Each structure stands twice: as C-alpha cells, then as structure tokens.
Chains A and B, each alone.
Chain A
Amino acid sequence: MNMVADPREHLVVIGNGMAGMRTVEELLKLDNGRRFRITVFGAEPHVNYNRIMLSSVLAGDKAVDDIVINSREWYDENDITLVTGDAVTRIDRGDGTVTSASGHSVRYDRLLIATGSRPVAPPIPGLGLPGVCAFRDIADVDKMLAAAKVHKRAVVIGGGLLGLEAAWGLKQRGMSVALVHLMPTLMERQLDAAAGQMLQRDLDRRGIAFFTDGQTEEITGTERAEGVQLADGRFVPADLVVLAIGIRPNIELAKAAQLEVNRGIVVTDDMRTSDPAVFSVGECVEHRGNVFGLVAPIWDQAKVCAAQLAGDAEALFASKALATSLKITGVDVFSAGALMAADESDDEITLRDDSRGLYKKIVLRDGKLVGAVLYGDVGDGQWYLQLMRDKQDVSALRERLVFGRAFAETGSGKPAGTDFAAMPDDTQICGCNGVCKGVIVSAIQDKKLTSLSEVRAHTKASASCGQCTGQVEGLLAFAAGVDAKAVKKTMCDCTMASHDEVRAAIVADRLKTMDSVRHAFDWKKPEGCHKCRPALNYYLLCAWPDEYHDDAQSRFVNERVHANIQKDGTYSVIPRMWGGLTTPAELHAIASVAEKFNIPTVKVTGGQRIDLLGVRKDDLPGVWNELGKAGMVSGHAYAKGLRTVKTCVGSEWCRFGTQDSTGLGVKLEKMCWGSWTPHKVKFAVSGCPRNCAEATIKDLGVVCVEAGYDLLVGGNGGIDVRVTDPLVRVATEAEVLEYAGAFMQIYREEAHYLERTAPWIARVGIDYVKKRLVEDAEGRAALHARFLHSQRFAQIDPWTERVMGAQAHEFAALPEMAAG
C-alpha cells in the first residue's frame, strides 16, 4: 500500500473488539471506503470475535470458529490493514501518531479508541497462582477448558451475569462447581431478591453450590490453586478459580494521552473525546456518567460514531433503557430498568408462581412502565422494554400488564381485565353454579338488570363463593354500561345500609336486638332475609357477648345443627383433636361409634382430624354422646369460627424443631375454640421454617425459629391462594397467645360477615393491622382482653348441650299423635 499516494484520510482504530469493528462496519456501509482508509490494531492474536458468546464456547454449545465475526478475508476485502497481537502503547496527539508495542508507528487523521475493559482483580493473595484466571477472552476460555479436562473442582468468584455463565459452562464441562458471591442474592444489579432467589434455587438444583454473603479473603495453594478461603471461615476447595467480579474500562492509554477520563474515557453525545479528532466507543467510554457492559447501547454508539465520521453532525447517542438476559440453557431471566419501587409514589405489581418457577415484577411511575424483572417466562421482555423506551402511558393496561402482551392488549382499552366482546358465549363464568357468559349477558339485556345483586338473583352467577364477582361486574359493565363498583354495597336488599354502618350503630347506639337494628335502619322487610339475619345475629353476638342470646333460627343449617349437611341430607361429624393430637382411647371411641351407627365413611381431614361422614340427623345426639364419653367435643368443622390448629411435631420429636409447636398449637386451640367469627378461621404452628404445618396459607400462622416465633396473618389456601403477610416476631409463647387473641378480636370486630381474613386484610391493608396490633401495645392488650371476655360465654360445647336435650326438636321428626 502506498501511503503517500493515497489521498484518503487515515482512520486508526485501537482495539479489534466488538465495538471498534462494529463502528468500522457501520462506517463502511455509509462511506464504502471513499473517505477513509482504515488500520486496526488488536492486542489479541485473533481476528474479531463475539465475546458475548464465550460462555457458549465454554459450555460446549459453540466452537471458537462459530463466534468469529469478521475473518481475515473480510479485512482484506474491505482494504483494512489489520495488526493483531500488537497492542498500541502510546498515542501522541501532538503529531497525530500511535505507536505499538513492537515499535510500529502510524499517523492518523481520525483516531477511534475501542480498548474495551478488563476484569476487576480483587486485592487478595493468590491471584498469581496457576489455576486462577478471569473470564474475559479466548485465552481464559482455553485455560478453563484445559483445567476441566484434568481437574475436578472449580470455584467461580462473582455471582453476576458473567460468573453465572462461567459456572454453568464449567458444570457442563463436567466439573463440580461452587460459586462465591459477595452479596446475599445473585445478579443483584439486574434482579430483585425474589428473582435472585429463584435463580439460585434453580441453579442449585442443577448442581451448582452457592456461597452467598461470601467475601473472598485468599486463594490458597502452593504449586497451584487449592481453594478459596472466605472471611467468615468457610473454605471452598478448588483446582480452578475463575474471577468474574466485574469489569473496568481500559483508560490508561487515553489517560496517558491526556484525554479527559473519569471512570471511562469521557465522550459527548457525538462519541468524541475531549479531542475532536479522537473518538471512543464501547466498554471503555463514559457517557453522561454511565459506563456500558451490555451490547445494545454499544451498537448504538457504533452507529453514531460511524455517522459522525462520515460527516453527519446530527447523529447523537442517547442512553436508552437496557435489558439484561442470562445465557444459561433453560434458565430464562430478563431485567430492564428499575428493579423496585424507588419510593411510595412508585407501584410494584408482582406475579409469582413458585411451583411453575415463574416470577414477574413490573414497576410503574406516573402511569409509565419504568422497570421489569422476569423469571421463568421472558417472552414479554421485549414488549416491556419497548413500553419503557416509548415512555407510553400504560394506566389503561395496568390491571393486565403483568400478565403479558397477549392478555393485556386484547382488552381494547377497557379496564375490566378481560375482553368480554371476544369471549365466546359458552365460556363458563361461575363455576359453582355453572353459569356461562351468554346466559349472564342475555339476562342483563332481556331483564334490564343494572346491579350485581340482580344479576345474582336472576342467574346465580357469583352467588356462591363469589370468586367470579369481578367478572360478573365486568359483564355488567360490558352489557349494560353499569359500573358495579361505583354502586354502594349494602348489606342486602333489605336495607340501604352497609356492613360498616350497621356495625358502628350497634355499638354506638347500643342496639342489642335484631329488631332494634332493623328499626333504626328502616329495614324493608320486618324479619329481614337469609342474608342479613345471620350477619346481624353475628354482629350482635360479637358486640354484646354477655347480653345477646344467639338466635338459632338466624343461623345457616350447619351452625344450627352443629354438623355439616351433606348432599344426600345426612351429616358429617368431626370431633376436635387439639393441635392434631389424639389418643388410643379417642380412636377406640371413634371406631366403635362408627360401627355402632353404621357410619359409611371415615376420613382423615386436611386439618388433622377425623371426619365421620353419612350420619343420619336423628343419630347425631347419639353419636355425640358416645364421643363425649371419651372426652371429645365439637370440632366446629361447620362453623364460622375457629376450625383447626394444624401443627407439626416440633422440638419434642423433630430433629429440626426449634420450639414446641404441637404444645403451642394446643394452647392456641384451647384459647380460641368456640368463638364465632365473620367467617371460618384456621391456624397452624410450624416448629421450624421448613413449615410442615403450612402456616403461610392460614388465617393465622406461627413459624417457630430459634429466636422465637414469627406470626403471619391473612393466608388462604382455597380458590384464591394468598400467602400470609408477616405480622411480627415475638420471643415467648405468652406473646403469641396475646397476639392471637388480639388478632381474632380485631377480625371479629371489624371484618364484614362472610369475609375471610385474606380479603379483609387485602381490603384494610396489613399496615393497618400492624398499627393496631404491633405498634399499639395497649390496644392489643385491650383486644386480647375483650376476646377472652367473649370466650367466657362462647366456650360451651354445643354437642354436650344437645346431648343434654337442648334444641331436641332439631333431631327428631314431628310425630303423629295417637288418635283419640
């Protein structure tokens, strides 16, 4: 090449990496070699390759040849002078030259610095030992592959993207791999704690051992690396130690040339350094305070830099929201933008399904998406990223956004959550009553229905468990344009008053009979209906435990008869087994009563008790009598009251048990049995965080730990599974009992009738419950005292009463009188 004769400007590129070559490619597209002749210096002996794919080479998914971006022929074809294995050691801006290690010196008209970054080396002894390497270039990968052939144990230091990919690659190569990470959770810059933990769990299952919160103190060994010593005393043996704790921009060359540097080489939006003839791109640059480790923004830089070189002064670089993904086969991770709400004005929406290994979190700020963390299913990642970049107002999609694009975009902008127009008429809405969309829509249209209660009355949709209420309200909005949520929810059609208004008046105006309540609120029907009567009966019983007499005729049949009615009109009988404990004598009694009364089915329940099914109504007192003789009482399995206290065996028997969970469960059950509550209540006590008693889906759960007892509230294992909210950790059983009593009483006094603790807490917020129970010790003690007071009148075994003759008319048919 005749340099003197060539009239073109000379572009010299320092760095034969991805950023520099991408810029050259972009420039060739724009310029086609007319304006510039190009010389590239590379420190590595290779042609340009895709560094991102090194982890795939390590894992054996790709060969080195597969990741080459530009072959030597490409350089030749494009008339690019390539100098490999010869690093530039000096830039002389005064006379416009660069000089390489071998002494090769060239003049430049334009200079592009693309020196990239290098691995951060921690300040610890042992870094120089054979068997220690970084994970940065092909030489590192060669070292790791060589070690994998003859050695067994590898330790990777660093639980970020690169470290995890290195660990997975070495695992694929047959090594046993441990990973040491300084922080408590993996990839903490890209993932929140929940997603980081799911990732750790999945990789742990795939055989990688994790040492989190692990600060490396020293790499030990004499001839070669033998292990990693952690500051807390843990020692991890290793034949190969891979450092992957981060990267640092290579700025030394630019700094020596007195270009402005900070963390990286400082560039402006046009990718120029402080010298307008010198450009810089890639991991070595710092733009507006940011440095870059991901490929997407670097591609943008390359494009802008090439356009500027080609003379387009308008081309400017701007940082965009970035997304990260992890290249481990079968582990799907996506992260972009904010990991969590920055303050109270931000909203987080989370979807988590542990058994399917799915997690999605989106962060909203001022109606716009500002962050997304996806684990397990990352298919919508790019869509979220686009919404973030477009700064699109997503308020209208808010309720559906977390479920992904397919679901969110079919709603045609309606906030109801489901596309009712597109829904087929035979889609079942109410599973309990078998009502489909078409039936509901025609009822609304034909009968001109305008309220939820009318739709319920005409179709029965949402009239049973209520799970589909939201959908029925949505159909009402769809078919009649009625916003059901805006309509005041009254107790029932007998009154315009709400549950809260009625409860408040009962206490404030000292109303002590159903008639006085109905009179005060001008009830439409003098005796009320099947909805308000049980509610009023409960509210009065709760407010005036020592004065109000329970009205059996206002109770649903199960609570009136103290047994569960079955579909064939027979009943089931479940005696209490305190904390799930029983005795040979009790089991004998159950066996003999089942034989004596020909009870067809005997079943162990999910609540650790025994259910006798198929008992004839007139046999109930006889069955109870036999059970009572053996000391057994009603298990209230039919009641809106305390059902079971499920326990594990705890410290008495279990080698993991930290406290006497069974004993505590018995104490809780003894304290709380017999109480009436707005809806059924289930407790559980687990003796250790393994949580065998499933305390995290109970109304009140206790998880014993070495330091005491974690109290959890508001869980539900039914149709709408809700995990408990943590309430408080206490040190003693006495405190557990006080909190439990206070929790029962605040739920009794403030929830609506037929409202479980889960929807109640979802309605009032766990912070409110904490304020009343945790922050207000005096209030808590008062609630507990009111609970114990009401228990004095409630803890009477209803079975014994009935064996003694109470309510006898319930259990015998009306006889024919003797003639005469």
Chain B
Amino acid sequence: MMSANWKNIGPVANIPRRGARRLCLKSAGKPVAVFRTGDGDVFALIDECPHKQGPLSEGIVAGNTVTCPLHNWVIGLEDGEAVAPDNGSARTLSLRIVDGDIFIHLPELVAGDQV
C-alpha cells in the first residue's frame, strides 16, 4: 500500500502519445505536467519552464524532450534539465505505473493545490 502522497491520476492512455496534460492538483503551489513520449514512457515535471515559466505541457514532445512554446527552450523529460546551450532545470516528480494507472508522488498538499 502506497502512502497518501501517491495519487492515482488514471490510465496512461488518458495522455496522448508525444503529448502532455496538466494535472488537476498542484505540487506545493506549482502546476504539474505529465508527459507521454512516442515510446510510451511517462514523465512528470513542474509545469514551468526554467526560463520564463512557460507551460511545458503545451510544448511539442520529441523523443525524451519537450520544447517550451514560449521561447523554444528544450527540456529533458527524464531529468528536467535544459538542453545546452540553455541552462536551467524544471523539477521532476516521481511516478509509478501500476496496472496501467499512473501514480504520482506529491508532497503534502497545501492550500490551493486542489485546482
């Protein structure tokens, strides 16, 4: 049994391949993006580009990267690091897939995290 900080956010199929969705819950006040790559891997990042806080969930996903729609920074999905020459990182969140459902690890919810 997982702790209460692990939230079931539904089946992988709810997220389009080479796409992303924003989560209904926030993580310590920050929006959360959940990505699914062309290979079917799932990743979660704080939905803010390290550059100007652009919504990464709206970017184009190619391989294990996403391109921010605001200024085209390319962010690695596995580690949240901006691809050189840009420099910065988006915080990653832990995931588990159990029976096709995605569980995401969120810290204790604070006021306002329930969107």
Contacts and interface: CB of A to CB of B under 8 A. Distances in A.
Interface of A: 433, 447, 457-458, 460, 463-464, 525-530, 533-534, 552-557, 560-561, 565, 569, 809, 813-817, 819
A530 B58 CA distance: 12
5 contacts: A553-B19, A553-B60, A556-B69, A816-B23, A817-B8
Interface string B1-36: 000000111100011111101111100000000100
Contacts of A569: 55
Contact of A527 (B10, B25, B38, B85): B38
Contacts of B60: 529-530, 533-534, 553-556
A447 B18 CA distance: 33
Contact of B34 (A533, A555, A561, A814): A814
Given A529-B62, A530-B72, A533-B60, A814 B67 contact: no
B77 interface: no
Interface string B68-96: 01011010000000000110000000000
B115 interface: yes
B36 to A, nearest CB: 10
A449 B97 CA distance: 43
B62 A447 contact: no
A553 B20 CA distance: 9
A814 B85 contact: no
A552 B20 CA distance: 12
- Interface hub of B16, B17, B38, B74 (most chain A Cβ within 10 A): B16
Given A530-B74, A809-B16, A809-B21, A816 B8 contact: yes
Interface residues of B, number: 33
A433 B115 CA distance: 33
Nearest to B115: A813
B115 A529 contact: no
A248 to B, nearest CB: 71
Nearest to B24: A813
Contacts of A561: 58
Nearest to B71: A460
Interface of B: 7-10, 14-19, 21-25, 34, 38, 55, 58-63, 67, 69, 71-72, 74, 85-86, 101, 115
Given A814-B15, A816-B24, A530 B67 contact: yes
B42 to A, nearest CB: 11
Given A565-B69, A814-B15, A557 B59 contact: yes
B14 A814 contact: yes
Given A433-B71, A529-B67, A813 B62 contact: no
B99 to A, nearest CB: 12
A526 B38 CA distance: 10
B60 to A, nearest CB: 4
Contacts of A565: 55, 58, 69
B23 A813 contact: yes
A463 B69 CA distance: 13
B52 to A, nearest CB: 9
Nearest to A554: B60
A809 B15 contact: yes
A530 B34 contact: no
Nearest to A494: B62
